Amino acid sequence: MTLPNVARKTAIVVLAHAYGINGGATVDTHVRRLSNRLGFTTTQDPMKIEQDLIKLLPQPDWENWSRLIYHGRAVCNARHPACERCFLADIGPGAILPVNP
Ligand code: SF4
């Protein structure tokens, strides 16, 4: 994070993929949105979201939170989440609660 243009999100990704170190959970716009929709957090603050997420999985699995990015791009996008073809539709709050973009 002392390098130019490297913030926490990038540092976590590089540590995990280049060095195998799980230093935190990557929180981008997709992870922020899905974490709220799925009820993992109630805040929009990336630092607080990360703290909520890392409490839910053991440290070796923290990097797996970045998988929400792919789900956010492919299915649960911001404006038109495709709940009708989502494998989480039966278990996520999005199945029963109005979705907030
Ligand atoms: S059920 Fe809908 S709101 Fe919930 S994760 Fe799937 S696409 Fe997103």
75 CA to centre of ligand 1 in angstroms: 7
Domains in the chain with CATH codes: 8-95 (1.10.1670.10)
Closest CA to 62 of 9, 33, 23, 10: 23
- The segments of the chain whose pLDDT lies below 70 read 92-101
pLDDT at 49 (0 to 100) = 97
Q: Is-above-0.75 flag for pTM?
A: yes
The preferred substitution site among 86, 87, 91 for testing ligand 1, maximizing ligand atoms within 8 Å of CB, is 86
Compute the distance between CA of residue 12 and CA of residue 8 in angstroms, rounded to an integer.
6
pLDDT at 94 (0 to 100) = 55
Q: Whose CA is nearest to atom 1 of ligand 1?
A: 89
pLDDT at 14 (0 to 100) = 93
The answer, yes or no, to whether any atom of ligand 1 lies below 6 A from the CB of 37, is: yes
pLDDT at 93 (0 to 100) = 61
Tokens representing 65 are 């939170």
pLDDT at 99 (0 to 100) = 53
